Structure 1
Amino acid sequence: MHTCDNIYSGFHVDTTITVVRPGLVVMNAERVGEQNLPSLFKGWDIIYIEQIVDTGYIDTALCSEWIGMNFLMVNPNLAVVDKNQYPLIRELEKRNVDVIPLQLRHSRTLGGGFHCVTLDVRRQGSLENYCA
């Protein structure tokens, strides 16, 4: 476990920091900058996302528009990303990450993105420490 001070105190830390693979991370630029970048990520390639596409909600939003930054890494080079998140998709593709753009309707209404609503129960390969 790594503590991150002065970043974000709500739910869904993956609307603020999302690790893509060892050495590559996506940061919510509204919440993280050089002044509060966790030391764990010093020296990593950092994608600072300045804007996210608000996909809307019905009645009540259980999370912010930043749930669009909540994506699922299938493997170190393949991500499942909300199809509306063009800036994020472009940045991932610039770094040779293939993207499967899918629609997850009502993610703000239900309070979860692709990373929240999935659970990998079988994985191949060995356990890897991204933070060593």
Structure 2
Amino acid sequence: MKKLVFILLSALAVSCGNENAPKPERLLSEDEMVDILYDISLLQAVKSYKSQILDTNSVDPRTYIYKKYKLDSITLSQNHNWYASDLENYEKIQGRVSNRIRSEHDKLKPKKKGNPDKLIAKPGLGTGQQREHKIE
């Protein structure tokens, strides 16, 4: 029994070597993969947060990427496996996706409005009148 477990673990270790996935016939550029992974991330976020938006706009997340990038599922899967087989490069790609999400998020944040020279009205001293007071 111990020999069988050892053989199975050894076979598993050998099969999980550092071999790269086969290069796809249609290899997408890294920039294209960043764009695709970015769009997939957005679709997943929208689907989990407000899926009715997708329904209202007739967007099927399962086919949106294929139509937008003129891909089929096999080509996307092969490219994803190709890039993921080089972990160091794949981490860089994922980092670019994360940076892009953060950048777009920051653009959508409301700007803080603060004018130190803004004048506000303060009530007068018992006369019902108001006087201006500078905020400092």
TM-score range, shorter chain: under 0.3
TM-score (norm 2): 0.20
The TM-score with structure 1 as length reference comes to 0.20
* Structure (1 or 2) with the larger CA radius of gyration: 2
More helix by share: 2
Higher strand share: 1
